[in-house]
A and B are shown apart, each in its own frame.
Chain A
């Protein structure tokens, strides 16, 4: 993978993380609670998932797809059972699963000795996601919220050819 492409992958990954994290927050808070405790629990779940992802040896593809699946599952849950008490618990679990790859991604970059600029480019992508996600939600509703991580995930797999060989990789 060229250096330029690696930067692009890091940026799209940052965008993906923002879409997952903010998307989950908006989805839970719209039909559950906007209390500080909800925000703190969801933020802690993301950070906890990231911490776990740093130390677990995660295969890339299942980790990315697992996070995406958990997120889409959360959106479906919120649609089917709004105002349900279980939504908060499901939300915390889904956000934590999404956060796993936020840790795994950086370890993968380190394993490839590609840490130069990885924080910068990932953060730039996250910044873009901070704008894109609320705009998608405001103008496209929960459908756009669900579509955005699907698109970013497809982009990540499209841009990073090494992910297709991930199964063959030794951790």
Chain B
């Protein structure tokens, strides 16, 4: 098949070809990791614990490759064939992992089976590529020169891969896959010769045109089997630098936004969620200037623009904004001159602005990853306080339906907020099935104002003032940067519940 005896790039192929092979292999390792992380994290649901598990799985797969590398010399031609088969397995991306998760869920094998499958996928994808570096180093007579040249080439390739991948974000998965398959075919060709290139490149070229349709069908299968949405139709699926963003229709008027496989919101709940998170306080306080952190769906633009002289939305993920504009808030704010969108991290924006706001709405996901949890910490709320006008209000969704046990998210987030902004009110809505907090140095409204402004459809509204909140959260440790145990504990509980109950846990 090839020009070398064991697919070791350097010894028999010359240093330039060896370096080129490793550069491309490094780039392919970067694209493999990013593709695998998205597929596996979305399939297993994207809490920090899952991210951790997936990353461990990927590095374990690389260790497998390193372990195999010195053994491959003994295998001779079989090693070459195994390497090419390994490359061919990449052609199953992203369809096979999705169908695998769906197939396991359809058989109710929801316990350890999906995790085992994730390990298998990671090993199959990453181990062959990881064998190249140790074999390249070993092929040099001078180990120092071998180490320097080979490792430098692979690292440079990895950097190149990161850069190229960045260009693929925001497009359908077929764009990244095209880059990935091209890199693999070139690696196979450079390591093993023209026949290996043809064996990988030809099926890749044949499979690629049908990839969007097959990936779409596989995504539908995941939502139908894993999430139990019988008529799910994934109408949007694009990877951003931060997450997989998917919009799923599951019946007439039933549209949901999923981020890394976790339901972020559905269109039915959105109006009520927005009502309590932002519209009620804005209706009472009539802010001159409002800042919304998050809310990439832009669903708050229209209602808040009508209640505030000036509205600013800060969202980190441009793909969520694209999905929001297209599926949740078509034309939102386009005609509204008082509205402006800034693409930035909320922390970074607040730290960099000198402006103050009458109302700051924090519309971010629950603290299930560190990045999300940073936006629920005491340190962040101190930064928010510094950007509030004297009677300015911050509103937060408490990631739960009521103030319950002191170790749970609502109590710990409320405690963090109370530690920085003494005048606090918690609203527990029966109809929205969520609890919300309004905090300020001095709230410009009271409980009766909130009750009066509540939507008529409300079935059970509990409004707790600062004293009642402090009593309920006494003993709760405020969420801060040095106590983010909640992220891993809650993620682990959810993971165990899901695996134990055999359901998606949406």
Residues of A within 8 A of B (CB): 26, 29-36, 38-40, 43-44, 47-48, 50-51, 54-55, 82-85, 103, 106-107, 109-111, 113, 115-117, 119-120, 123-124, 126-127, 130-131, 134-135, 137-143
Contacts and interface: CB of A to CB of B under 8 A. Distances in A.
Given A26-B370, A47-B155, A107-B147, A33 B345 contact: yes
Contacts of A123: 59, 62-63, 66
Given A40-B162, A130-B55, A119 B351 contact: no
A143 B370 CA distance: 17
Nearest to A33: B348
B448 interface: no
Contacts of A39: 241
Q: From A31, A32, A135, name the one whose CB has the most chain B CB atoms within 10 angstroms.
A: A31
A34 B352 CA distance: 14
Contact of A51 (B52, B67, B156, B484): B156
A48 B158 CA distance: 11
B248 interface: no
Interface stretch (B133-141, B192-200, B389-397): B133-141
Contact residues of A: prevailing secondary structure: helix
A126 B143 contact: no
A57 to B, nearest CB: 10
A106 B488 contact: no
A85 B352 CA distance: 8
A126 B152 CA distance: 19
B143 A113 contact: yes
A143 B482 contact: yes
Contacts of A126: 59
Interface in B142-161: 143-144, 146-148, 151-152, 155-156, 158-159
Contacts of B242: 36
A52 to B, nearest CB: 10
B70 interface: yes
Contact residues of B: prevailing secondary structure: helix
Q: From B148, B151, B344, B350, name the one whose CB has the most chain A CB atoms within 10 angstroms.
A: B151
A139 B487 CA distance: 10
B383 interface: yes
A54 B345 contact: no
B347 A134 contact: no
Given A32-B348, A43-B162, A44-B162, 7 more contacts: A31-B347, A34-B316, A50-B155, A83-B347, A109-B147, A127-B63, A130-B55
A44 B161 CA distance: 11
Contacts of A130: 52, 55-56, 59
Contacts of A120: 63, 66-67, 134
B371 interface: yes
A55 B144 CA distance: 10
A127 B143 contact: no
A110 B347 contact: no
A141 B345 contact: no
A84 B347 CA distance: 11
Contacts of A127: 56, 59-60, 63
Given A83-B351, A106-B151, A107-B147, A138 B134 contact: no
A30 B143 contact: no
A32 B67 CA distance: 39
21 contacts: A29-B374, A30-B374, A30-B481, A35-B316, A36-B241, A40-B162, A44-B162, A47-B155, A54-B148, A83-B347, A83-B350, A107-B148, A110-B146, A113-B143, A117-B70, A130-B52, A134-B52, A135-B488, A137-B484, A138-B484, A142-B481
B48 interface: yes
A19 B394 CA distance: 35
Contacts of A50: 151, 155
A54 B482 contact: no
Given A35-B345, A130-B55, A55 B383 contact: no
Contacts of B146: 110, 115
B166 interface: yes
A54 B152 contact: yes
A109 B30 CA distance: 25
Given A33-B348, A107-B144, A123-B59, A141 B483 contact: yes
A95 to B, nearest CB: 14
A99 B428 CA distance: 49
